[in-house]
Amino acid sequence: MNFTLKIWRQKDAKSKGEFKTYKVENISADTSFLEMLDILNNDLIHKNEEPVAFDHDCREGICGMCSLHIDGLAHGPGQAATTCQIYMRKFKDGATITIEPWRSAAFPVIKDLVVDRSAYDKILQAGGYTSVRTGSVPDAHCMPVSQADAEESMDAAACIGCGACAATCKNGSAMLFVAARVSSLAKLPQGRVEGARRAKAMVAKMDALGFGNCTNTGACQSECPKSISIAHIARLNREFLAAKLED
Mean pLDDT of the chain: 94
pLDDT at 143: 79
Confidence band of 134 (pLDDT split at 50, 70, 90): low
pTM of the model: 0.92
Planar angle of CA 173, 178, 184, nearest 5 degrees:
150
**Is the pLDDT assigned to residue 183 strictly greater than 70?**
yes
Please state, in angstroms and rounded to a whole number, the distance separating the CA atoms of residues 68 and 227: 17
Give dist(CA 188, CA 18) in Å, integer. Answer: 47
